[in-house]
Amino acid sequence: MFALIFRFPTGRYHATPWGRHVNEGDVAWPPEPYRILRTLIATWYRKADRTAYDKAALARLVEALAETDPIFHLPKAIHAHTRHYMPQGKLVGGREDTKLVLDAFYRVDPGAELIAAWPQVELAPDLLALAGHLAERIGYFGRAESLATVRASDQEILSEPADKILPGETVPGRTMIDVLAPLSASAYATIRTDLLGLNSDRAGSTRRRAFEATMPPSLLEALEAETSQIQAVGWSRPPAGRVVQYARPEVGPRPARGRWRRRSIERDDKLPTVARLLLAGRPRPRIEDAVKIGEIFRQALIYRISRSEGLVPSVITGRGEDGKPLRDPGHGHAFFLPEDDDGDGFIDHLVLFVRDGLERSIRRGVEDLRRLWISDRRSSRAADDSLEDDGRQEWRLAVEGYGNPEIFRDSNVLRSSATWLSVTPYLRPWHVKLSPPEVETERMAGEECRRRGLPIIKAEFDPDQESLGRSVAIRGGRRNVLHFHRFRSRRGLVQPDRSGAALRLTFAKPIPGPIALGFGCHYGLGLFRAVD
């Protein structure tokens, strides 16, 4: 097994397929094996240590990879282009003449990997070392705009059949694409003899020499032939090349319709689950308005992700592929939680928490989020920096860090504790049936904890107050739960509890935050803080 793994740090892959004009806007996808071998050859000439790896070793590497066609794993891509009017250096009608040129490319995730693998190829140690030496020196792949990082591997990589794009295999729902691949060394030697015998040009003539220059004796030299040489002779494709068909997923100018599905593979434990942002501005929003800020935080993040990625993960939208809200007792979709870290009654941080981890697209959206605002008419959304100030309330945002809750030890909504007190009112998520509302409130809070796998011992009204469960501590005093905004902006929601209560939760052992329960818990209602 041998494989080359490509990444494109700028998120763009530029490459015009053989036989196509650049203004056709097509992109070579999957990458042509012919192009891959020429890239290795060019890297040897320009960057390799030739004292350690001679040309004979390069020839053996190229011939080994040309024996079989690779299989591919292609990352998700979007077909895009830019248009340029190139000056032609002359005047037409008193104006400089220009020519429209399309620069087509595929947008890919900068962290995604494109894999070309040769399962039947087992390279000798010296050839594997040469391949790794060349791969790490490749600076771009395709056109020079396609900055790339490449590594070589002899490990089994494409284990999932769904990941594989095989040569010559027809797959329903995929498009068959002609791809230029190299001939094997033996096939090239045979076809070279036949083609040279068919040439009728006079020996020693200019045409004969140009023709023979495109068909040197070895496969390595044939792959080195310049495209201009090959086209000048009139070849429709390189004499050392052949056409292979691959079935690839359709690539269009827009992301695939529908919402992202939650990953079926096991969660990557290295993904951070928390993004914490600093909120600044005067005046800062009050903790009583937590649910308002949580809602515009979600709306702003969706806006930013959709602009940069096109598709918004369902863990952020909270909705499945059918457009209906997710029904997950464990509440795996995102929490958008305002935080009053210093206890002065004003929100100074925002916490985004996703149980299964923050994917790269989500983190990019968080980093693009620079401010939140609410207009005078209370219509809220993410603002473009070009918008002028119209008297709205506005706050600046900056990412403080990513990680798991345990590393945010200074945050009273993220660090671990066995005792937790209400920061914002807890509203019952279900209707009261037979028991008194006070009893049902404590029972429902405990039941929610159990459904989320939390080792709850007791959920009770906060006892450190005169009016049991009716106020929370703010600025060293108390604030009645009725002073908090307790309603979602979305119309038509069924809200079993319109008043709310302040609770204390006691667990069998210290557990990390965040803990948010009840109605509106994903937007800052029912939020608890750790007690030392």
Residue 69 has phi, psi (to 5 degrees) of: -85, 140
pLDDT computed for residue 379 by the predictor:
43
Calpha distance 215→364 (Å, rounded): 49
R_g over Cα of the chain:
31
Residue 24 has phi, psi (to 5 degrees) of: -75, -15
**Contact in structure between 423 and 340 (CB atoms under 8 Å):** yes
**Contact in structure between 13 and 27 (CB atoms under 8 Å):** yes
User: Beta-strand (E) ranges in 149-289?
Assistant: 149-153, 174-182, 241-249, 274-280
Residue 206 has phi, psi (to 5 degrees) of: -60, -45
Q: How far is CA 204 from the centre of its chain?
A: 58
352 to 90, 189, 276, 340, 481: CA distances (angstroms): 57, 62, 6, 14, 24
- pLDDT (tens place) for every residue of the chain, 532 residues total: 899 999 998 899 999 999 888 888 899 999 999 999 999 999 999 999 999 999 999 999 999 999 999 999 999 999 998 888 888 888 888 888 898 888 899 999 988 999 999 999 999 999 999 999 999 999 999 988 899 999 999 987 765 545 688 898 888 878 899 999 999 999 999 999 998 888 888 888 999 999 999 999 999 999 999 999 999 988 989 999 999 999 998 888 766 544 444 443 334 457 888 888 888 887 888 888 888 988 899 888 888 888 777 778 888 887 776 667 766 666 778 899 999 888 888 888 999 998 888 888 888 888 888 888 876 544 444 444 433 445 567 888 888 888 888 888 888 889 889 998 888 888 888 888 767 777 888 888 888 888 888 888 888 887 665 556 788 878 767 888 888 888 888 777 777 888 888 888 888 889 888 988 888 888 888 899 888 7
CA dihedral 504→510→511→514, nearest 10 degrees, is 50
Calpha distance 220→54 (Å, rounded): 13
pLDDT computed for residue 221 by the predictor:
95
Q: Measure the N-to-C terminal CA separation of the chain; round to a whole number of Å.
A: 55
Q: Which residues contact 434 (CB under 8 A, 6 or more apart)?
A: none
pLDDT computed for residue 125 by the predictor:
94
80 to 11, 303, 307, 311, 478: CA distances (angstroms): 12, 20, 14, 16, 56
pLDDT computed for residue 262 by the predictor:
40
pLDDT computed for residue 174 by the predictor:
87
pLDDT computed for residue 368 by the predictor:
84
Calpha distance 149→113 (Å, rounded): 10
Residue 411, burial from CB neighbour count under 10 angstroms (0-12, 13-18, 19+): buried
- The alpha carbon dihedral of 321, 325, 329, 334 has a sign of positive
pLDDT computed for residue 329 by the predictor:
66
pLDDT computed for residue 93 by the predictor:
83
User: Which of 347, 346, 328, 327 has the alpha carbon at shortest distance from 337?
Assistant: 347
The count of C-alpha atoms lying within 13 angstroms of the C-alpha of 165, restricted to the half-sphere facing its C-beta, is 24
Calpha distance 167→174 (Å, rounded): 13
Residue 237 has phi, psi (to 5 degrees) of: -150, 160
pLDDT computed for residue 376 by the predictor:
52
Residue 135 has phi, psi (to 5 degrees) of: -60, -45
Q: Which amino acid is at 485?
A: H
Host H or E run for residue 187: helix 185-198
pLDDT computed for residue 503 by the predictor:
87
